[in-house]
C-alpha cells in the first residue's frame, strides 16, 4: 500500500511517518484483501489550544476503484490525532469487513468502459459569498454564466456507480459524505442516499 503523509504547520518527521505506516499496515492486513493507497494529512489548530486540542488528522484511504473511506481524529499531539482517526477507519471496517472486500472485488471485475460518468459542479452562492477555500475557478466563472444559478467555480468528472441500496449506504458511511447519487442495480433508476440531520440515512428512489 502506498502511503503519503503531509502536514500543514506540522512537522512530519521520520518517527511520525513510521507510526502512520505501521498503524495503517496493521489495519490493512486485518480488514482488507488489499488496499491501494492512503493519504494522511495533519494540521495544527491554534484556535483550539485552550481546549487542549492542537492537532487534527485526516485519513483518506482508497480500497479499490471508486471505493474510498475516510477517518478524522484530533488530539494534543500528532501521534494521538492519528490514532483516533485510524480507530474511526477501523471501526467502520469492522462493521463492513466482508462487504467491503466483496465490493472491492466486484468493482475490480467491472470493465472500465461500463462505468457511467457525470459532471459534478461547485456553485458560488448567488449572494456573492466567497467560494469554498481551495476550489479552482473554472474559466467561465469569472464573467458569470448567465444561468439561473450561481457561477460555476469548479467542476470535475465523477462516476455514477451501479450499487444496491445497502452498498450505497455503506459508501456513504465509509467516506463520511452527506449525499451520494448512484444507479440502483436492481431497478436501473438513479437513486440518492443522504445523511439526515437526525443521524438517519434518507433514500430517494426515482422512477426508472
Say whether both 13 and 104 belong to one domain: yes
Say whether both 36 and 82 belong to one domain: yes
* Model confidence band, residue 140 (pLDDT cutoffs 50, 70, 90): very low
CA distances from 5 to 10, 34, 42, 58, 69 (A): 11, 20, 8, 10, 16
- Burial group, residue 168, by CB count within 10 angstroms (0-12, 13-18, 19+): buried
C-alpha cell at 184: 440502483
SS3 199: coil
| Domain interval for residue 181 | 161-208
Tell whether the model's pLDDT for residue 7 goes beyond 80: yes
Of 109, 141, 173, the residue at which a domain comes to its end is 109
Say whether both 145 and 58 belong to one domain: no
Tell whether the model's pLDDT for residue 47 goes beyond 80: no
CATH number at residue 194: 3.30.505.50
| Element holding 109 (H helix, E strand) | helix 78-109
Question: Quick one: pLDDT at residue 113?
Answer: 47
Rounded to the nearest integer, the mean pLDDT of the chain is 80
**Lowest mean pLDDT segment, chosen from 53-62, 80-89, 136-145, 199-208:** 136-145
Tell whether the model's pLDDT for residue 13 goes beyond 80: yes
Of 44, 76, 109, the residue at which a domain comes to its end is 109
Say whether both 102 and 34 belong to one domain: yes
Say whether both 67 and 22 belong to one domain: yes
Q: Per residue in 77-132, pLDDT tens?
A: 999 999 999 999 888 888 777 676 666 666 555 544 456 888 888 888 766 545 44
Say whether both 54 and 124 belong to one domain: no
Say whether both 76 and 38 belong to one domain: yes
pTM exceeds 0.75 for this model: no
Tell whether the model's pLDDT for residue 71 goes beyond 80: yes
Tell whether the model's pLDDT for residue 27 goes beyond 80: yes
Say whether both 12 and 102 belong to one domain: yes
| Element holding 193 (H helix, E strand) | strand 190-195
Tell whether the model's pLDDT for residue 161 goes beyond 60: yes
Question: Quick one: pLDDT at residue 3?
Answer: 92
197 vs 114: which has the higher pLDDT: 197
Phi then psi for 155, rounded to 5 degrees?
-150, 150
- With contact defined as beta carbons under 8 Å apart, do 98 and 106 qualify? no
Question: Quick one: pLDDT at residue 52?
Answer: 65
Alpha-carbon distance of 176 to 199, in angstroms, equals 12
Say whether both 42 and 85 belong to one domain: yes
Tell whether the model's pLDDT for residue 39 goes beyond 90: yes
Say whether both 91 and 165 belong to one domain: no
Say whether both 19 and 95 belong to one domain: yes
In the chain, the number of structural domains is 3
Question: Quick one: pLDDT at residue 141?
Answer: 43
Say whether both 148 and 176 belong to one domain: no
Amino acid at each position: 500500500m502506498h502511503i503519503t503523509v503531509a502536514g500543514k504547520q506540522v512537522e512530519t518527521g521520520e518517527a511520525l511517518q513510521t507510526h502512520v505506516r505501521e498503524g495503517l499496515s496493521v489495519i490493512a492486513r486485518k480488514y482488507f484483501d488489499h488496499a491501494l493507497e492512503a493519504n494522511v494529512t495533519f494540521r495544527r489548530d491554534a484556535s483550539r489550544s485552550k481546549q487542549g486540542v492542537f492537532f487534527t488528522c485526516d485519513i483518506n484511504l482508497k480500497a479499490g476503484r471508486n471505493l474510498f473511506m475516510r477517518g478524522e481524529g484530533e488530539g494534543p499531539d500528532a501521534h494521538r490525532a492519528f490514532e483516533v482517526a485510524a480507530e474511526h477507519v477501523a471501526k467502520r471496517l469492522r462493521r463492513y469487513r466482508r462487504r467491503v472486500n466483496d465490493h472491492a472485488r466486484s468493482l475490480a471485475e467491472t470493465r472500465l468502459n461500463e462505468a457511467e460518468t457525470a459532471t459534478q459542479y461547485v456553485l458560488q452562492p448567488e449572494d456573492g459569498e466567497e467560494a469554498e477555500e481551495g476550489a479552482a475557478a473554472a474559466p467561465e466563472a469569472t464573467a458569470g454564466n448567465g444561468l439561473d444559478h450561481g457561477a460555476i467555480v469548479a467542476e470535475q468528472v465523477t462516476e455514477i456507480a451501479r450499487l444496491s441500496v445497502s452498498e450505497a449506504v455503506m459508501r456513504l458511511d465509509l467516506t463520511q459524505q452527506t449525499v451520494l447519487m448512484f444507479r440502483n442495480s436492481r431497478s436501473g433508476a438513479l437513486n440518492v442516499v443522504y445523511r439526515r440531520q437526525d443521524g438517519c440515512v434518507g433514500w430517494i428512489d426515482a422512477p426508472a
